[in-house]
Structure 1
Amino acid sequence: MKIQIPEYIQVLIDLLNQNHYNAYVVGGAIRNALLGLPIHDYDLTTDATPDEMLQAFSSYRLFKTGIQHGTITVLSNGQPVEITTFRSENTYEDHRHPSTVSFSNNIEEDCKRRDFTINALCYNKSEGLIDFFGGIEDLQHKIIRCIGNANERIDEDALRILRALRFAGRLSFTIEENTATAIHKQKQLLHYISEERIHNEWVGILETNALSSILTEYSDIIQVFIPELKEYIIQDSLASINQSPLNANIRMAILLKDISNAKEILERLKYSGAEQTVILSCIRNSEYKLSSKIELKQFLSTLNIPFNTYHQYRTAIDPNYQRENIHAYYQEVQNMHEPYQLKNLAINGNTVKELGYQGKDIKDILQRCLNAVIENPENNTIEYLINMIKRTD
């Protein structure tokens, strides 16, 4: 089976071969190539030691950031490519990191330590596709399966629990029985994983096609790091999840909308300030009345996130939301450049200040002007607004 390898990757393999080392593309790139999915990056594995790689790539710009684990990053045609020395199985500490790193000259040994069969496929032009553990068959049957003993693989690295869910959700695969049993049984090991790592995997899970299935079958695992997501909350959210786009923030808002301590949960899971703003704004405005263009403009004047994000969220959670009407109102507001924010006013704070007002009065007057032009956009002129201010003085 032939897989197309980009030239900027092939030149690195060729250079290692010229220096009498073996090298392969390994992992996600091969998996995605066989599935016909986009390939975002290519990882290489080789029997060259880190020092030997540094010598072979001495003419390249490279980074040694992972060299203690056998990994260097080489810039090839401007693209960063991680190249790692074959490693062998070892003992793990804290259910996440190997106690020591042992290099190997055996590609099968290197593949054996990986997480799932579908991620242990490797390829180069001279040897073709190499599959030691049945990864091709598992791809064909849409199965996520740990390599070797599932309990041992999960015990080594508990993050594999969430990786299994993410791959199953993203690819719409089934988690094989022994692997599923292991991740249910050892779910409490997630307490050893940092909140940042959990956050990254969880966001990936939220953006998968099969999220509803993951939430249904593996709710006990998710409850390890979000115990507030009780079974009934998940079940009540499924219909909305199925109506939502593959957007992690929108889906998190759907799951948390009926939970009182949503902000606390987001902070615990190390959500960024920007992510929290989107999620909490959606939740806070879940029932905002929007039945006219004026109400929409009043809402837009206070909304602190993109309207399209809110629109998608509201469409998913509210069967009575007049999606098409609201979208038409929004398009009309945008096309006609109708004012709905203070910055859209024909006057500003300096204008009001010149009329003799100071401090908080300036803000109050500008807000009053905005309310007036939201109802009657044609009145958004300097002359009209100054006269309005003088009349109410």
Structure 2
Amino acid sequence: MKIQIPEYIQVLIDLLNQNHYNAYVVGGAIRNALLGLPIHDYDLTTDATPDEMLQVFSSYRLFKTGIQHGTITVLSDGQPVEITTFRSENTYEDHRHPSTVSFSNNIEEDCKRRDFTINALCYNKSEGLIDFFGGIEDLQHKIIRCIGNANERIDEDALRILRALRFAGRLSFTIEENTATAIHKQKQLLHYISEERIHNEWVGILETNALSSILTEYSDIIQVFIPELKEYIIQDSLASINQSPLNANIRMAILLKDISNAKEILERLKYSGAEQTVILSCIRNSEYKLSSKIELKQFLSTLNIPFNTYHQYRTAIDPNYQRENIHAYYQEVQNMHEPYQLKNLAINGNTVKELGYQGKDIKDILQRCLNTVIENPENNTIEYLINMIKGL
């Protein structure tokens, strides 16, 4: 089986081969190539040690940030490529990190320490596709399966629990029985994982095609880090989830909209300020009345997130939301450049100040002007607004 490898990757493999080292593309790139999915990056593995790699790639710009784990990053044609020395199985500490890193000269030994069979596929042009653990068959049957003993793989690195859910959701695969049993059994090991890493995997899970299935079958795992997400809340959210786009913030808002401490949950999971703004703004405005263009403009004047995000959220959660009408109103407002924010006014604070107002009164006057032009956009002229202010 032949897989197309980009030239900027092949030159690195060729250079290692010329120096009498073996090298392979490994992991997600091969998995995605076989599935016909986009490939975002290529990882290489080799029997060259880190010091030997530094010599081989001495003419390249490179970074040694992961060198203690056997990884260097080489810039090839402007693209960063991680290259890692073969490693062997070892004991793990804190259910996340290997206690020591042992290098190997055996590609099978290196693949054996990986998480799932579909992620342990290797390829180079001379040897073709290498599959030690049945990854190709699992791809064909759409199965996520731990390599070797599932309990041991999960115990080594508890983040694999969430990685299994993410891959299953994204690829619409089934988690193999022994692997599923292991992740249910060892779910409490997630307490050893940092909130930042849980957040990153959780966002990936939220953006998957099969999120409803994951929420239904693995709710007990999600409740380890979001205990507030009770079974009935998940069940009540499924219809809306199925109506929503593959957007993590919108889907998180759907799940949290009936939970009183949503902000606390987001902070606990290390959501950024920008993410929190989107999610909490959607939740706060879940029932905002929008039945006319004027009401829409009044709403837009206070909305602090993109309207399209809110529109998608509201469409998903509210069967009575007049999606097409509201969208038509919004398009008309945009096309006609109708004012709905203070910055859209024909006048500004300096104009009001010149008319004798100061401090907080300036903001109040501008808001009254905005309310006026929201209802009557044609009145958004300097002359009209100055006369209006003089008449107050």
Question: What interval of TM-score do these two structures reach, taking the shorter chain for normalisation?
Answer: over 0.9
Distance 2:43 2:365 in 1: 60
The share of aligned pairs that are identical, in percent, is 99
> Alpha-carbon deviation of 1:262?
0.1
> Alpha-carbon deviation of 1:204?
0.1
Structure 2: unaligned runs, 5 residues or longer: none
Q: Deviations over 1:310-350 (max 9, x none)?
A: 00000000000000000000000000000000000000000
Which residue pairs with 1:165 in the alignment? 165
Local SS of the residue matching 1:358: coil
> Alpha-carbon deviation of 1:247?
0.1
> Alpha-carbon deviation of 1:291?
0.1
Local SS of the residue matching 2:25: strand
Q: Deviations over 1:243-301 (max 9, x none)?
A: 00000000000000000000000000000000000000000000000000000000000
Distance 1:162 1:142 in 2: 18
Distance 1:188 1:293 in 2: 50
> Alpha-carbon deviation of 1:128?
0.1
Distance 1:62 1:363 in 2: 54
Local SS of the residue matching 1:65: coil
Distance 2:216 2:350 in 1: 57
Local SS of the residue matching 2:45: strand
Distance 1:333 1:10 in 2: 52
Distance 1:13 1:65 in 2: 21
Q: Deviations over 1:201-224 (max 9, x none)?
A: 000000000000000000000000
Which residue pairs with 1:205 in the alignment? 205
User: TM-score, with normalisation over the residues of structure 2?
Assistant: 0.99
> Alpha-carbon deviation of 1:47?
0.1
Local SS of the residue matching 2:65: strand
Local SS of the residue matching 2:352: helix
> Alpha-carbon deviation of 1:92?
0.1
Distance 1:358 1:279 in 2: 36
Distance 1:268 1:367 in 2: 37
Structure 1: unaligned runs, 5 residues or longer: none
> Alpha-carbon deviation of 1:65?
0.2
Distance 1:218 1:286 in 2: 27
> Alpha-carbon deviation of 1:237?
0.1
Local SS of the residue matching 1:37: coil
Poorly superposed stretches of 4+, deviation over 2 Å? none
> Alpha-carbon deviation of 1:236?
0.1
Distance 1:250 1:100 in 2: 41
Distance 1:347 1:57 in 2: 62
Number of equivalent positions: 390
Q: Deviations over 1:113-161 (max 9, x none)?
A: 0000000000000000000000000000000000000000000000000
Distance 2:92 2:383 in 1: 74
Distance 2:208 2:99 in 1: 33
Distance 2:328 2:238 in 1: 28
> Alpha-carbon deviation of 1:172?
0.1
Q: Deviations over 1:344-385 (max 9, x none)?
A: 000000000000000000000000000000000000000000
> Alpha-carbon deviation of 1:59?
0.2
